[in-house]
Amino acid sequence: MIRFEPRANPGPVLTYGVPVIAAAIAILLAAIPLALADAPIIRAYGLMISGAFGSVFSISEMLTRATPLILTGLAAAIAFRAKLWNIGAEGQLYMGAMAAVAIGSGVIDGPSWIMIPVVMIAGAIAGALMLIGPTLMKTRLGVDEVVTTLLLNFIVLLFVQMMLEGALKDPMSMGWPQSEPIIDSAVFPPLIERMRVHFGLIIALVSAIALAVFVKRTVWGFEIRAVGENAAAAKFAGISVTKTMILVAALSGGLAGLAGVAEVAGTRGYLATDLSPGYGYAGIVVAMLARLSPVGVIASALFVASVFVGADSMSRAIGVSSYLADLIVAMALLCVLIGGFLTRFTVHFDRKTAG
């Protein structure tokens, strides 16, 4: 007979060690599909490492990929901490990107110190509004936010496609569905000359640190944690659950919107329907790997980005599908979930005694 008993105090070793062990196990388990594909396993691992860290260019590409993952990971982390299950970061990212393009493609003009904050604010507001609606439906009407936020992703993508074929279409795009480019004064400056890593990385890192301080050191952060732990008890203690949820929605949606701004103003320069390869959904994995810790999101985003960039390089070199990266990330999430359960509970195997 198997018995599960809650642990009184898991301790820091278990709490912080589980995500690291889970990531290591997931990477080791990747040897199974590599072996099934008749790939040289040791060489494949070496190519993945060199593809992500083997040169300045590789590192810059990894950091470029990590930038939106940090922001969408933070969006999921703050929402999940309050038990607001935001599955709509992908749609919020696209709305933030569209708002940035609408404002930053020449509607207004000015120097960089004006235009960059303007497109950031526009994108954050657009992303926040996309989540505030489902949050009000949850708190006022009891509508499941998992369903509403998930379905809004598809609605937003169709809306973006419509706008790229209409009001936002670039007349110089030779028929391709893409927006006009962001003007130069609204483009994020690169951090390394002739590399794609850009100012959005600084924004993401500052956002993670600021969110960590906000959650741990402010009254609003305490209220968010209280609502997440027990909404009924928080309400009994005088905390407005609805206002707290709206605050969380604004923060979560705004961070996802900033991820979209970072992609159009930092990486692409324009909006297209293939702007995101799934950063909004990957942000959920990043948040779970980080155990909803804002600072931990930085480390988990770097891990996921390095897996994606390394797998791309490895697949080109030995002909193995780059979808191996998705498999590694999925296995890491599964290992974290199992490890999280074992962190909270002790497993006992009781022998049945003869009656």
pLDDT over threshold 60, residue 262: yes
Residue for token pair 């604004």: 250
* Mean local confidence (pLDDT), 184-190: 93
pTM reported for the whole predicted model: 0.92
pLDDT over threshold 90, residue 314: no
* pLDDT classification of 226: cutoffs 50, 70, 90: very high
What are the backbone angles phi and psi of residue 182, rounded to the nearest 5°? -65, 140
pLDDT over threshold 90, residue 342: no
Q: Answer whether 157's CB lies under 8 Å from 164's CB.
A: no
Among candidates 151, 10, 42, which has minimal Cα distance to 87?
151
| pLDDT of res. 216 | 93
Average pLDDT of the residues of the chain:
89
What DSSP state is assigned to residue 320? Answer: -
User: When comparing pLDDT for 299 and 337, which is higher?
Assistant: 299
The percent of the chain in helix, strand and coil, each rounded to the nearest 5, is 70, 5, 25
* Mean local confidence (pLDDT), 192-213: 94
Specify which of 37-41, 99-103, 168-172 reaches the highest per-range mean pLDDT. 99-103
Helix axes 200-217, 241-262, angle to 10 degrees: 160
* Mean local confidence (pLDDT), 51-80: 94
Specify which of 9-13, 26-30, 339-343 reaches the highest per-range mean pLDDT. 26-30
* pLDDT classification of 11: cutoffs 50, 70, 90: low
| pLDDT of res. 171 | 85
What domains lie within the chain, and their CATH numbers? 2-347 (1.10.3470)
* pLDDT classification of 102: cutoffs 50, 70, 90: very high
Specify which of 14-23, 38-47, 334-343 reaches the highest per-range mean pLDDT. 38-47
User: When comparing pLDDT for 324 and 196, which is higher?
Assistant: 196
User: When comparing pLDDT for 22 and 347, which is higher?
Assistant: 22
User: When comparing pLDDT for 23 and 296, which is higher?
Assistant: 296
Return d(Cα 166, Cα 162) in angstroms, integer: 6
- Give how far Cα 267 sits from Cα of 137, 200, 262, Å: 35, 9, 7
Q: Answer whether 156's CB lies under 8 Å from 130's CB.
A: yes
pLDDT over threshold 70, residue 8: no
pLDDT over threshold 60, residue 354: no
* Mean local confidence (pLDDT), 252-262: 97
pLDDT over threshold 60, residue 202: yes
| pLDDT of res. 271 | 93
* pLDDT classification of 351: cutoffs 50, 70, 90: low
Q: Greatest CA separation found in the chain?
A: 85
* Mean local confidence (pLDDT), 75-86: 95
User: When comparing pLDDT for 88 and 349, which is higher?
Assistant: 88
* pLDDT classification of 352: cutoffs 50, 70, 90: low
* Mean local confidence (pLDDT), 270-296: 91
